[in-house]
Structure formats: C-alpha cells, structure tokens
Amino acid sequence: MAQLLDSSVGRPADSPFAEDPSALGSPIPCRVLLLEDSGIDADLVREHLRMIDGHDFEVQRVETRQAFIDAVGNGGPFDLILSDFDLPDFDGMSALAIARDRLPRVPFIFVSGMLGEENAIEALKKGATDYVVKLRMERLQVVVRRALVEARDRNELADKRKALAESEARLRFALEAGRLGSWELTLSTNRLHVSSICAANLGLSDPAEISTYDRLLERVHPGDREHQQAMVRQAVTSGLPLDMEYRTIWPDGSLHWIQVRGRAIYDKNGKPTGLAGVSLNITDRKKAEERQLLLLEELNHRVKNTLAMVQSIAKQTLRTAPSVEDFPDAFQSRLRALAQAHDLLTRRHWQGASLSEIAALTLEPHVHAGRVRVAGPPVNLTTGVAVSLHLAFHELATNAAKYGALSAENGRIDLEWEIAPVSIPVARDAGSQAGTGHASSGSTDALVLRWRESGGPPVVPPTRRGFGSRLIERGLAHELEGDVVLAFDSAGVRCRLVIPLSSRVSPQ
C-alpha cells in the first residue's frame, strides 16, 4: 500500500486528484537560485527537487553575498529562491531582504541546518515563504510544490489585476479624449454615481452635486424631463440600449444639449438593478446643425433671388437690345458680372464684402491701365448690396467702354465715395402747424458715391432708357433704399448715389 502512495502529497498516485503537471504536457521549466555554501547540501537539494514530478528544475548555485546580489540583479528571472540560514560571509535574513526588495513575487524558502522555532517565525514575519530543516529534507518536495502553485496563482492574479488596471486606464483615457462622462444609476436607492467629466457636461464642478437621479432631473430642461424619464423606464423594462438627447440648464442659466447612452444592469435572476453608460455634451453639434439649417434656408432664398434676377436681366436685356443678334453678348456679359459677384461672396463665405473690393472687381483692368481712379474710406456691404452695386458698376463701365470715357484714348473715370451727413425730408408732427402742408428737414449720415467720366467723346443723352439706366435709376434706388441721380452731361456721364448708413451699409 505504501508504494502506491505519493509521498509528497499523501494520497494515491493514481488518484484523479493527484497533482501531476507532466500528465497535462511537457514538464514545467523552473529556474532556481540556490544560496548554499555546502556542496553536499546543494547536491541533496538538487536530488530532492528532481523527485518533484512535472517540473524541470535548473539550479543556479551561489555561495557569497556578492554572487547572490549579482544573480538577483542580472541572472533572473527566477521562479524560486532557496537559501541557507547561516553562511560564512552572509546570513539568510539579509538575503531575504534583498530578494523581497528586488524580486518580491518570487517564493523564498529557507533550507537550514539550524533548528529553532524562533528562527522560522522570524523568517516568515520578514516575508519568507516557508522554512525547511535539513534534517527533514523530504519535506522540501511538498513545500516547493505548494510554493510554486501558490506563486503561480498569485502571479496570475497580479497579472490580471495589472491588466485590469491598464484596461481601466485606457478606458479613462478614451473617455477623457472623447469628452465622455461615465455614470451609473442604482435603481433600488436611486443613487447616481457620475465622473467629473459627466458633471462638467452638466456645468458642475463637483460630481456630488448630482448624487441622485432626482438631482439630475433638476438639471434637465422642463420640456424634456418627461421624455427623459420615459426613455429611462423603457431601457430598464425592455432591455434595449438607452440612447437619447435632451436639453439641460446650467447653473449660469445657459442652455446645453447632452447625449446619453447606456444599458440596464441585471442580477442573476434577470431583475434590473441599475443603469450604466456615458454622456457627451453635444451643444456645439446642435448649434452647428442649427447653423446648417439656417444656411440651407438662406441658400434656398438666394437661389430664388438669383433666378429672379437672371429672369429680370434676360427680360430687360431682350427688351432693350437693338436686335436679336445683340442679345446673347449683352446677356452673357451681365451673367458674367453676376457670377463674379457670387464668386467674391463665396470666397468671403457670404459674409458680405467691402466697397473697394466690389469696385476693384469691375474696374481693376482699367485701374492698372491708369484709366480709372478709385478712392474712399473702408465701407462694409452686405451680400445683397454688394451684388447690386457690382451690377451697377458693370453697367456703367460697359457703357463707358462702348460709348463713353473708356472708348477714347485720353478718357478717364473717377469713382469716389465718402461718409457725409445728408438732408432728408421729415414730416411735421400732426399736432403742429396743422394744415400748412410744410415739412422740416433732418440729416443723417450716408454713403455718398460719385461716378464721373471725362476725356471721352461728347455725350448725347439717350432717347430711351436701356437696361443699365433702369437698373441704376430704379432697381438700385429701390434695392438700396437710397437716392440715385444719373446725368448724361456732354462732358461725361455723371452718377451720384446716396445710401443711408445701416446694418447693410456701414463704415469699418
């Protein structure tokens, strides 16, 4: 019967519970650092290690303090350290201190010839794994096997904890990088645990300020509270993912948008115990969506206005063209002018343009040739005003090139503007001087623009008003709510435009 027993574990060798790692595969390699000054005792230790099944021990023996320090510092990694308790120039307790400092996860077992319970207790207090007396060396097999198993379990647990900590760190980094706040709601207590980012998404600096679901609801916009509660109930009862957006009111009264995603948590019986998920401040996205909607509406408005303008240009050009053959060139020229204005405004993101930019867009070739002088203070124009003035400049420049100053070698054009007070009629108060029919006059600052041609052939007033004249005298005056005077003096065409300052026309 004794031969059928595994002496190291005290149970039948053929028991299904026998610990025999080699039965599961090749022997497990195990590097051992042995601190022992006696060669005979070192051989005895090796012999007992070879009797442990399922392991392949590789023993590195050292005898001195320096050799031990070098081995611990350079010769690892080791799976096991065995040490004598008393050595000629060294002691086991010092070796234990060095090992615990540098290799804290490696089992350290004393194999000592010194008897004494006090030594063993002191060694275990200092961090030794076990203490084996050389007179009972057969116990080494049990102690080593147990120490390796326990070390393997501890190391696996430590590795898992380290991996979990690293995973949590990566998760925190991902949440912070994505500005995502984490939260968890306990249904039984209504307690809410939120991260600092989640609190910041609600305009709060302290997560404790929303420690319950009711405190959270206080931050939700009144118009969205019922919807928020309904979505939470649905996620709990149905098991479907929680995905919702709602408005929140920050402590400073500002309105913000929050997106929340999460899932319900269930116990082993399938009963919901809570909710957990993430939150994201999507206020910027919502504002961008609103701006995009406004831009689409504005684009739709501009397209309609542009089509109406093209239709008007086509109709007026056809009506005033000397012949059908002249229509295509005149029409295409005006469409190009319209397209130039749109290109400029597109580059400026449809935020308007300056008066000098509009003037240069039409007259730049003639300015470089020294035929046109442009002067005036900086003035901002909105998109509609910019397009109208560009079309007016185009008509004036086209007429000058065909019939006026730019058709002669010495002709020139002066385009000047200024901000100046102008008189405007103001109706009298109904209760003063009733029945007299008189009116007083007031003044307001306005943009005064003058176009003067000189040096060209004598100007003959037209017998009928063409498209350009109508655009300037009627369309421009109506569009800009100003006063336009177009004169065909024999010395050159004159045009004076007065536009009251407003949000559409303003000095820089």
CA–CA distance, 143 with 276 (Å, rounded to integer): 47
Q: Which CATH superfamily is domain 2-158 in?
A: Response regulator (3.40.50.2300)
pLDDT at residue number 401: 80
Give me the CATH code for the 178-281 domain, please. 3.30.450.20
In the sheet that holds 353-354, the strands lie side by side as 353-354, 379-381, 505-507
Structure tokens at 339: 């397209």
pLDDT at residue number 480: 77
**Alpha helices per DSSP H over 51-200:** 65-74, 92-102, 117-125, 139-177, 196-200
How is the chain split among helix, strand and coil, in percent rounded to 5?
Answer: 45, 25, 25
Is the bond preceding residue 77 a cis peptide, omega within 30 degrees? yes
pLDDT at residue number 235: 92
Structure tokens at 234: 């649905």
**Cα 48 vs. chain centroid, distance in angstroms?**
64
Give the CA distances from residue 480 to residues 423, 473, 501, in Å, rounded to whole numbers and listed in that order.
17, 11, 10
DSSP per-residue letters across 435-465: T---EEEEEEEEEEEEEEEESSSPP---SS-
pLDDT at residue number 14: 38
One-letter amino acid of 485: V
pTM tops 0.75 = no
> Which residues of the chain form CATH 3.30.450.20?
178-281
Burial class of residue 87, CB neighbours in 10 A (0-12, 13-18, 19+): buried
> Residue-wise pLDDT tens for the chain (508 aa)?
333 333 333 333 333 334 444 445 688 899 999 999 899 999 999 999 998 888 889 999 999 889 999 898 875 689 999 999 888 888 889 999 999 888 888 999 999 877 777 888 888 888 898 998 888 888 888 999 898 888 888 878 777 777 776 666 666 666 565 568 888 999 999 999 998 888 988 899 899 999 999 999 999 999 999 999 999 999 999 989 999 999 999 999 999 999 999 999 999 888 999 999 889 889 988 888 888 877 677 666 556 655 655 665 676 566 656 777 777 776 776 677 667 666 666 666 667 788 888 888 877 766 666 788 889 999 998 888 888 888 888 888 888 888 888 888 888 889 999 999 887 554 444 444 434 344 445 678 899 999 999 998 998 887 766 666 776 777 677 777 888 888 888 888 999 989 889 888 889 7
pLDDT at residue number 173: 62
> Which residues of the chain form CATH 3.30.565.10?
287-428+439-507
In the sheet that holds 412-427, the strands lie side by side as 372-375, 412-427, 439-454, 492-500, 483-489
**Which CATH fold topology does 287-428+439-507 show?**
Heat Shock Protein 90 (3.30.565)
pLDDT at residue number 323: 74
DSSP per-residue letters across 87-114: -SS-BHHHHHHHHHHH-TTS-EEEEES-
CA–CA distance, 111 with 140 (Å, rounded to integer): 8
Q: Are 107 and 84 in contact (CB under 8 A)?
A: no
Q: Are 249 and 255 in contact (CB under 8 A)?
A: yes
> Which residues of the chain form CATH 3.40.50.2300?
2-158
CA–CA distance, 135 with 133 (Å, rounded to integer): 5
CA–CA distance, 46 with 34 (Å, rounded to integer): 9
